[in-house]
């Protein structure tokens, strides 16, 4: 496939993902505070995501990731936070940090957490119901399983760029 054909295909895929997200219910899990301070460039280099398709989990109660210092002002949502290096669905920019709650919206339990599929790094998978979510370009929209039939998506969080080179993940 030529480069001329790839770009329109990518734009069409992104547009379809944006349009499909409009009807997705991404407020299924209980609202819990999220605040992960990775605003310092050094912290971001160690605990952030440095490229498209890279991911990291933040689960305060499990001490994930190992070595990360959780303060009293750090909160990781309902099931934890999945930080993912994705693609901006509006302009196609790569290496954009995206953040989602790890709790599967179908199961709606703190201890049932999605994980990144090792074979298809675009998707997160629920170990209980088998639902799959597009975390690369689809904003956590459901792509397969019970979540797709119910139109339940992952809860999204903000990744706010700091002046010092890192990011703050917030609800």
pLDDT over 80 (residue 118): yes
3-state DSSP assignment of residue 19: helix
pLDDT of residue 93: 86
pLDDT over 70 (residue 1): no
Please state, in angstroms and rounded to a whole number, the distance separating the CA atoms of residues 3 and 49: 27
Please state, in angstroms and rounded to a whole number, the distance separating the CA atoms of residues 66 and 117: 21
Count of all residues that appear for the chain in the document: 171
pLDDT of residue 50: 87
Other residues' Cβ atoms within 10 Å of the Cβ of residue 112? 16
What global pTM score does this model have? Answer: 0.85
Higher confidence at residue 57 or residue 87?
A: 57
Domains of the chain are 3-170 (2.102.10.10)
pLDDT over 50 (residue 18): no
Mean pLDDT of 49-70: 95
**Mean pLDDT value across the chain:** 88
Residue with tokens 């009293």: 72
- The CB-based long-range contact list for 59-67 (8 Å cut-off, 24+ gap) reads 59/102, 59/113
């Amino acid at each position: 496939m030529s480069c001329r054909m790839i770009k329109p295909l990518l734009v069409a895929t992104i547009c379809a993902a944006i349009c499909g997200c409009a009807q997705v219910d991404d407020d299924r899990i209980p609202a819990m505070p999220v605040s992960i301070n990775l605003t310092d460039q050094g912290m971001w280099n160690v605990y952030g995501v440095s490229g498209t398709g890279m991911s990291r989990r933040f689960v305060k109660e499990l001490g994930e990731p190992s070595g990360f210092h959780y303060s009293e002002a750090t909160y990781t949502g309902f099931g934890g936070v999945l930080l993912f290096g994705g693609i901006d669905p509006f302009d196609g920019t790569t290496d954009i940090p995206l953040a989602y709650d790890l709790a599967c919206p179908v199961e709606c339990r703190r201890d049932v957490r999605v994980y990144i599929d090792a074979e298809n790094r675009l998707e997160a998978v629920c170990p209980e119901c088998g639902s799959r979510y597009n975390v690369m370009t689809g904003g956590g929209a459901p792509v397969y399983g019970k979540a797709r039939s119910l139109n339940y998506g992952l809860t999204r969080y903000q990744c706010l760029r700091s002046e010092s080179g890192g990011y703050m993940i917030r609800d």
